[in-house]
Amino acid sequence: MAGHISPDMFPAKFSFDAAAPPDCTNDYVVFGLAATGSTGTGGHANLVAFNNLYSDPVNGGGLCDAPNGPGLTVLFAYNITTAGTGRIRTSPVLSLDGKKIAFVESIPGPPGSAVFHVLTWTAGEGTIAVPAAPNMTSLTFSPSAFDTASSPWVDYGTDTAYVGSDKGFVYQITGVFKGTPTLSGSPWPVSAGTLHLTGPVLDSFLGLLMVGSANGNLYQINTATGAVSTLVVGGGFGSGILGAPIVDITNGTTFVVSANDGTSAVLVEVDTVSNTVLTKGRIGQGASGGTSVPLYEPAPSNNYYNDPSTGVIRLCGTGAADTTPWQFAFGFTGRIMHSTPSFSQQLLTSTAARCTGWTEFFNPNIGTTLGTDFFFFGLTQGCTGPGTAGGCVARITNTNTTAVTATVKGGTSAIIVDNYSTASQASSIYFTAENLQTAYKFTQSGLN
C-alpha cells in the first residue's frame, strides 16, 4: 500500500463483538491511508480492506488458511481522492452492520478543504495495484480549511457525526449511515479556538461533546445549544492536546494529555459536566524542556471499567529531566485519579524515541484463569534487539510491566484489537507502520 498514517490514526475492524466466533468471510479490517490517489482512473489505493484475517501467510495453520480458507485476502481497494491531492488523514468509522464506511478526505490548500464521505463497499472491487472508484456520498463540510487530526465521531443512536477542522470549527452532520449526510445549521459549526482539533468525543448521557485543541485547551460543547466551555490544560511550547479525550460516561469524567502545562507533561482528569480539573498527574518533562514531545491518549485498565478504585490508567510520558519515553500508571480513589503515579518505569534510553497512544484489551483466554489485561503501543525508534533501531510495537500486561517488543520500522500507527477467540491466529492486533506502506497483524500473545 502507498502512503502512511499518523501515530494517532486507527484502522477499523468489523465485527465489533470480541466474543463473537471469528468469521473468515465477513470479518475485515480497513485501513485509510494518507496517500494521494489522484482523481480519475489509476492512482494509489487509499482505502483498503482485508478479510480472511485469521491466517498465517508464513507458516499456515491459521483458522482462515487452507483447507478452511484461502488465507489473507484483499476484500476491496479504492482510490477515494475527489480533488487534487486529497487524502485520508484520520480514522475511518464503520456502520453497525459494517456495510458502510464514513471518513474524511483532507484536501491541502491554500486554503484547503475537508470532505465527509460515506462509502458503500462491494467485495472484490479493486486491488492494491489497481484500485476501484468508490460508490459514496460526499459532503464538503469545511470549505476553507482541511482536517489533519480530527477523526469523525458517530453517535449511532441519532445517526449523527461530529468532526473538526484545522481552523478550530466543530461540525455536526446528520443522516450519516441511514439517510443522506447533511450539515446542521445554527448553532453549528461551533468555534473551538483557531487551531487543529482532536477527534471529538460525545458523552451521550449528558449531550456534551469534548474536544482537544493544538492550543492546549479542552473544549466542552453543549450539542443542544452550541454553548462552549473552555478549560486551559496546556501552556507554552508543545502544549497541544493531540490525542482525543477519553470520556467515561459512567463516572462523568474526561481524561486528556498535554506535553506541557508550563511546568511538565500532564495527564488531567476533568469533571465532564463542569469542565473543571479534578486531578492533575505529572508524567515527566515532556515538551517543557524546549524539545517537541508528542504525547497521546492513555488507556484505563479492565478493572477500571468494573470499578475505578480497583483499576489504573496507563500511558506514555517522559523522564523527569529528559525526553526518554517512560510508562506511568495512576490509581484511583472512587472516581478520582491520584495525582502521584502508582508506578513509573523507563521504556527506552533513547531521547528521540516517541510513543503512540495506548490500546487496552482484556483477553480472558490468555494467561491465568483470571485472563490477561494487555496494553499495546508503538515506539518510533531505539528499541532493543537486532534490526529494531527504526521502531517497534510494544506490549505490556497487568502482570508484567516489562515491554515485549517486535520490529516495526518507523514505529506504529494507533492500534486496534480483534477477538479473544482461542482459534489459531484469531486473537490479534492491527496497525500500519507510521512511515511505511505496510499493514501489520501481530498476535496478542507474544507479538508473533
CA gap 294, 391 in Å, rounded: 16
pLDDT, residue 2, reads: 43
Closest by alpha carbon to 36, among 1, 76, 69?
1
pLDDT, residue 1, reads: 39
Q: Comparing 71-85, 270-284, 387-401, 416-430, which segment has the lowest mean pLDDT?
A: 387-401
One-letter amino acid at 225 equals T
pLDDT, residue 23, reads: 96
3-state secondary structure of 15: coil
| Separation of CA 126 from chain center | 26
Q: Which residue has the cell 489509476?
A: 42
What are the cell numbers at 193? 479556538
- 375 versus 40: which is more confidently predicted? 375
Q: What confidence tens digit (pLDDT) does each residue in 332-347 have?
A: 999 999 999 999 999 9
Is omega for the bond preceding 111 within 30 degrees of 0, making it cis? yes
Mean pLDDT across the stretch 413-425? Answer: 95
Domain boundaries, the chain: 1-143
Q: What confidence tens digit (pLDDT) does each residue in 110-127 have?
A: 889 999 999 999 999 999
Mean pLDDT across the stretch 301-324? Answer: 98
CA gap 227, 167 in Å, rounded: 18
Mean pLDDT across the stretch 264-280? Answer: 98
Q: What confidence tens digit (pLDDT) does each residue in 118-161 have?
A: 999 999 999 999 999 999 999 999 999 999 999 999 999 999 99
Among 29-38, 186-195, 388-397, which range has the highest average pLDDT? 186-195
Is it the case that residue 109 has pLDDT exceeding 90? no
User: What is the rounded average pLDDT for all residues in the chain?
Assistant: 94
- 269 versus 437: which is more confidently predicted? 269
100-107 and 113-120 as β-strands: parallel, antiparallel, unpaired? Answer: antiparallel
pLDDT, residue 316, reads: 98
Mean pLDDT across the stretch 267-277? Answer: 98
CA gap 373, 124 in Å, rounded: 36
DSSP label at 306? H
CA gap 7, 433 in Å, rounded: 9
